[in-house]
Structure 1
């Protein structure tokens, strides 16, 4: 991480105004719509469009700038990856940070900046070039990536400029999160209709789409399945605030006539690391900066379950002062890097074939996640799920095991193993009892709440290391039960037991768009802090 002398991060790129995004977006529409406007090489590949498409895909978890993963570290790693229970840093970064709930103003604007400058503006440039008219299937893919990225952003902050983004140089209004989600579903309708039409027509593009598709290598059928899976994910997010819309959208996603959802591991949504100077940013931070370690929560669940994936997820500790073992760090612990960087990290060095390297694709949605979404839909009695809650739950586990190349025929039948408590060999003040006693084996005799905890716990294990969606689903359901923060330095704005609910808005918005920002804050209920609940984050039971 780039630091000033006082160890507080300062963005290496000038933090531009949201209004500047408006200039970028509206300026793009001035492009002409003749084929000659594209920069092409002698193979017919549209090199300009390739640059725009690949940049947008890499910006979802921002490694689009190449080389230096400062942006991703602040966009996700030092917030959602840690709040989800997956990660914790051995670096104290000067003392008060997000990890002990002192929400860092200089850090927490990064997701906001990225989604406007590196995603929405690139989609608008494509539209300004006429891609939506000339190559509608390609533009549908760009729209899907945009929806995923903007969904992550609104699930970080809440209300955001969306419908009016790019229409003005100042006074850009905020949409409610409900309106943003409704827009997502409408945009998914358009994108999936376009993809189904394109696929059924048998048409071919006048250039090779594969080089600009870092996910599915030009396979529009796979993109359609991802689109339906994304609809299912977004629908489930809103089940507690708007169960009618949630059910309707989930059943549409699962309707076979829509094109299907992701069902096997070759459909995983993951962005390839392609091109000189690019690397998987999470691996880079763990390997080259040694700034991130495994969190106590994921380690304690997997150790307690004797989960066969544990050695594929994490390396064992290297600390000579205690026996070699899997050992995470509890969030909010008082740490110093020399002592704690020896705790477990991502699996980039243990074993003959570690899971993670600098070129490992960046995972955003797994097939296992989709099975668990379907399991929850079945539990709620929705249509088109294609199985019972139990069968889909077990398929989710087995699909995840297969993804990570491990086998354990008895794992799903284990009805005794439970999450382990946490012991910190270097500081007993960080010790904690097991956060849950939930077991693995499905039980029809269990309550719906217990069944949901099983689904969500295994879903959380299977989504590793994608912390943004894991944090979102923890906030929505309360599962899995995570270790609480050791030191809460939020000044009372974040409840230790309820944990972080969102990131505060960037200071830049206060400086440049205060009037509209204040309207957005009112949509949140009037408070802009880490304890403020989002629209879909309803404080009530799951059933």
Structure 2
């Protein structure tokens, strides 16, 4: 099979190699026929835009995967029925595959390749087209934003699978080698270095662009200073990811991110990284799935933390139950409790993301990073003795809580000082077999005399509450820190490959990669913490 190639500077994206396409029955000589995004924007529309900058819009939307035409099937298996549920945020009342699916640890190969495909086709593929234009040379600040978008998206992909093709993605070789996750992270930091320098130079020059970049910027409306602050915040996030695997690099990168001379980080909610919903037929895919398909509910873990703490964000995040057979209440659903014996109507009336009161709508921007998360990252940096955190651990922790409460217009002066409330035990009003004791006894109020582990649990638990509903990063943080403590799965159908207490650590490599890039995949398995391509294998940064 002949593999055509698009060449674009450092990286070249292959037509079929490295799993960039779904399995196909015929060869192709034209990469561009298949290197199309998952959001449904046709190339004809993109070509009409100045310098094809809509490729950047498409790639930005694909980070979270705005499937077009009101049909977010791709997002559903890219993230919603994986990370959103593994994070303790969501659970589904639908008995997909007779209840034997990822949510009961029976890892579905038909689901597990979607995040990989979207990352390469809809992000890297689109940015390769942009790279092939004159944008990198003529408008380097715009290309810097594209680099930041790529790191944002592909950091999520590597945090799902571990090793991925990155430095060699785009070569025309039959077998596209994978980089170890450590190598991928090293490259991320270098790419952010380049973007940071470019943005700072452009901002300090006082120059302007000869076109309205805000028309193509779905996040910051063309504000490069905001992009610079997000870039530094992203670097801080990635630095803290690797703190157990390589603390020296984590410290160096975190301190670089927090160095005021580098441009600063996100400090207020108007700097949150939220992707706008634009274009006919496009919606917030999470809200669509909850509102129109009733395929996703609130997870019991999240419910028990919110109700136990009497968290002021409770009524913002989740709705009251609508099942007439039980008293109206805030009640989540335990992961893995749906089996072949369940019909969808059994649990569809439990609490969902709160679209009923208009807190979440089909036009709600997609949240990818908040100022609150950054304050919690700074708290953890201070806890580890890193420089430039900007305050004490307690100051950053409390600032994170208050910033999140402000974001959700849920101010409560008493919440931060509560030293008695703890997460609730879970009580399933329909099935007592799902009942389980409280997952944790940690309280909200900061305790300076607490152990390091307890301090970490407070920081991570409140960060988890603040990051809702962004389940991909929440799942990463749960794996990295072990917090918050989540309820174990009710039914474990993994065949002993995933420990119910340790929970899912990654997704297996896509089946299409085995079909089209098998030799490289088998090498990549050797780069994992153990040579086992299953959901129980830890990633490089995921240390006990």
Taking structure 1 as the reference length, what is the TM-score of the superposition? 0.91
For 2:347, the equivalent position in structure 1 comes to 340
Name the SS for the 1:282 alignment partner.
Answer: helix
Correspondence for 2:85 among 66, 75, 82: 82
**Residue 513 of structure 2 is aligned to residue 512 of structure 1:** no
| Stretches of 4+ aligned residues off by more than 3 angstroms | 19-28, 38-41
Relative to structure 1, is the Cα distance of residues 27 and 430 closer, same or farther in structure 2, using a 3 angstrom cutoff? closer
Inter-partner Cα distance in structure 2 for 1:145 and 1:39: 18
In the TM superposition, residue 47 of structure 1 has moved relative to its aligned partner by 4.1
For 1:527, the equivalent position in structure 2 comes to 532
Name the SS for the 2:99 alignment partner.
Answer: coil
For 2:122, the equivalent position in structure 1 comes to 118
**Residue 78 of structure 2 is aligned to residue 71 of structure 1:** no
Relative to structure 1, is the Cα distance of residues 363 and 99 closer, same or farther in structure 2, using a 3 angstrom cutoff? same
For 1:316, the equivalent position in structure 2 comes to 320
**Residue 222 of structure 2 is aligned to residue 215 of structure 1:** no
Relative to structure 1, is the Cα distance of residues 98 and 40 closer, same or farther in structure 2, using a 3 angstrom cutoff? closer
In the TM superposition, residue 203 of structure 1 has moved relative to its aligned partner by 1.0
Name the SS for the 1:408 alignment partner.
Answer: coil
Inter-partner Cα distance in structure 1 for 2:413 and 2:116: 44
| Preserved CA contact (<8 Å) 1:171 1:513 | yes
Inter-partner Cα distance in structure 2 for 1:39 and 1:227: 26
**Residue 301 of structure 2 is aligned to residue 297 of structure 1:** yes
**Residue 504 of structure 2 is aligned to residue 497 of structure 1:** no
| Preserved CA contact (<8 Å) 1:24 1:121 | no
Inter-partner Cα distance in structure 2 for 1:408 and 1:96: 42
Relative to structure 1, is the Cα distance of residues 322 and 50 closer, same or farther in structure 2, using a 3 angstrom cutoff? same
Inter-partner Cα distance in structure 1 for 2:511 and 2:46: 38
Range with bigger deviation, 380-389 or 47-56 = 47-56
Correspondence for 1:181 among 182, 185, 205: 185
Q: How does 1:243-258 map to 2 (within 5 A)?
A: 243-258=247-262
In the TM superposition, residue 336 of structure 1 has moved relative to its aligned partner by 2.6
In the TM superposition, residue 130 of structure 1 has moved relative to its aligned partner by 2.1
For 1:56, the equivalent position in structure 2 comes to 59
Kindly provide the CA deviation profile for residues 422-445 of structure 1, in whole angstroms up to 9, marking residues without a partner as x: 010111111110000000000011
Which 5+ residue runs of structure 2 have no aligned equivalent? Answer: 1-19, 36-44
Inter-partner Cα distance in structure 2 for 1:14 and 1:203: 40
Inter-partner Cα distance in structure 2 for 1:66 and 1:192: 36
Q: How does 1:227-266 map to 2 (within 5 A)?
A: 227-266=231-270
Relative to structure 1, is the Cα distance of residues 206 and 489 closer, same or farther in structure 2, using a 3 angstrom cutoff? same
Name the SS for the 1:106 alignment partner.
Answer: helix
Instruction: Report the RMSD for the aligned CA atoms in angstroms.
Output: 2.1
Kindly provide the CA deviation profile for residues 149-173 of structure 1, in whole angstroms up to 9, marking residues without a partner as x: 0000000000010000011152111
Inter-partner Cα distance in structure 2 for 1:23 and 1:387: 54
| Preserved CA contact (<8 Å) 1:25 1:124 | no
| Preserved CA contact (<8 Å) 1:22 1:169 | no
Correspondence for 2:104 among 96, 100, 103: 100
Relative to structure 1, is the Cα distance of residues 390 and 345 closer, same or farther in structure 2, using a 3 angstrom cutoff? same
Taking structure 2 as the reference length, what is the TM-score of the superposition? 0.91
Which 5+ residue runs of structure 1 have no aligned equivalent? Answer: 1-12, 29-37
